[in-house]
């Protein structure tokens, strides 16, 4: 369930940020949105470290870290609930019926398909390296004599 929540929030936050930011600041703001993933990884590790250093048991620590990780999700759910739709979404919603045919036509465009394939492949490789390092950093640190 946690993975579905994070998997849904991550692209949604990027889409909302992109839609509601001016063209001149969009790249910088989008980079900050994606860079917060690394900061979240560091903060998650710090929560575990602080809990263990203050005498928390292993069972308490993982439960506390998982529960503490729900706080940003709960806060973002509240703010998403109160948020008004962006102008871009409202415009797209009104033009949805005419858009279906143009989306299907886009798949016959070779240049768009190559762009989509290149973007998806690079994102996939980024995810493998990012999550692979995150998942196995304990083993990597152990092999380096740091664990």
CB-based burial, 81-107: b 16+ in 10 Å, e otherwise: eeeeebeeeeeeeeeeeeeeeeeeeee
What is the value of pTM for the model shown? Answer: 0.55
> What pLDDT sits at residue 128?
81
Average pLDDT per 10 consecutive residues for the chain, totaling 147 residues: 67 80 87 83 89 93 89 84 80 68 73 86 82 74 73
pLDDT of residue 137: 74
């Amino acid at each position: 369930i946690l993975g579905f929540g994070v998997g849904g929030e991550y692209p949604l936050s990027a889409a909302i940020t992109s839609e509601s930011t001016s063209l001149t600041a969009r790249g910088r703001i989008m980079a900050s949105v994606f860079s917060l993933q690394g900061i979240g990884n560091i903060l998650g590790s710090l929560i575990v470290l602080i809990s263990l250093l203050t005498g928390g048991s292993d069972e308490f620590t993982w439960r506390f870290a998982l529960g503490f990780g729900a706080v940003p999700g709960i806060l973002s759910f509240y703010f998403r609930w109160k948020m008004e739709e962006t102008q871009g979404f409202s415009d797209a919603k009104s033009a949805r019926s005419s858009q279906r045919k143009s989306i299907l036509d886009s798949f016959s465009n070779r240049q768009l398909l190559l762009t989509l394939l290149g973007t998806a492949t690079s994102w996939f490789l980024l995810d493998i390296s990012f999550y692979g390092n995150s998942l196995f950093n304990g083993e990597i640190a152990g092999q380096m004599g740091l664990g």
